[in-house]
Amino acid sequence: MWNICLVGFGNVAQGLARILADKRERLAGKYGFEFRITSVVTARRGCLANEQGLDPAMLLEAMERDGGLWGCEGARLIDPLEAIKSAHTDILVETTPTSLVRGEPGLTHIRTALKAKKHVVTSNKGPLVRALSELTALAEGSGVSFRYEGVIMSGTPALNLVRETLAGCDIQHVQGIVNGTTNFILTEMEKGKTYEEALAEAQRLGIAEADPTADVEGWDAAVKACIMAVLFMDATLELEDVERTGITEVTQETIQTALSRGKRIKLVAEVYREKGRVKAMVAPVAVPLVRPLAGIMGAMNAITYTTDHLGDITIVGPGAGRIETGQALLSDLLAIHRIHGAADHPSRSPY
């Protein structure tokens, strides 16, 4: 039985809770994965702890009914670091809001867990872009897993594809559409909308945030490019090293001119080697229509990996969403179960 501590209980963690509530029996029967949510810690929505386990369906009902956990019996303030270090925590699931400046508070949460020899699963890009190499070394030194499938393409397995299926291949070049908001806006502009109209539509549909700066100015894609450079090409790269141009200056003329030349404007994140150095960039690119990335429309994402053994491999899928990112967290939990399953956590992998 795995004891899980949830730090953060927003959309992503609620997506995981929904999956765990719906599939508890299947996860136990097919994978041998049994769990208890022993604590939930949030900054403003209340906290709960019960070493016998908290029902994920109950947590979701409380959020829907009250907008938080304060109405639940036993709700109280809980120090997240104490919950993480507790003997009743085996795995930390860290989903607090992303901070690109310092990576906090997620960075401290993850450091604390790894030092306490707890496994960590996260969808939080901030700690990774600021301290991925350090956190990886901490996990290795403590003999625990540090997993983060959801940081690039949500539940679409962009990282596991490279880690597992492409193991042994050298990744020579990475090109991807890794931000659904900007891809949606560019798709709508191709249909005739202005940038402002397309952005407003994205916000109306909940695809774009009220403040879309991180998306439209390319920061979100730059973070992902930086992480991919470190992971896939062993680069020592900071976020500030990524050349970045957003889509705010893209016009109808830009889009139509590209189409007339057999190309389509896409905000592309690219990682490549130049003169022995790994570089990363994010910019609107005129992609030839014959290339897979040119056909990615709406809020979908895609990455093309250029490898030495297999040539180009492209993976396509949703890059955001509550259930989609919850699935990424689940896949990481199951990976921990497969790798570290022992007498007290028996693994029955179907693979």
User: What residues act catalytically?
Assistant: 224
Rounded to whole angstroms, the Cα distance separating 277 from 170 reads 15
What per-residue string of b and e applies to 184-205 under the rule 16 or more CB within 10 Å gives b? bbbbbbbeebebeebbeebeee
Peptide bond into 105 cis (omega under 30): yes
Rounded to whole angstroms, the Cα distance separating 1 from 144 reads 17
Rounded to whole angstroms, the Cα distance separating 339 from 144 reads 10
**∠ CA 320-132-45 to the nearest 5 degrees?**
50
Residue 296, sorted as left (phi over 0), alpha (psi -120 to 50) or beta, turns out to be: beta
Task: Give phi and psi for 92, each to the nearest 5.
Answer: -95, 130
In 3D space, the residue among 255, 260, 288 whose CA is nearest the CA of residue 175 turns out to be 288
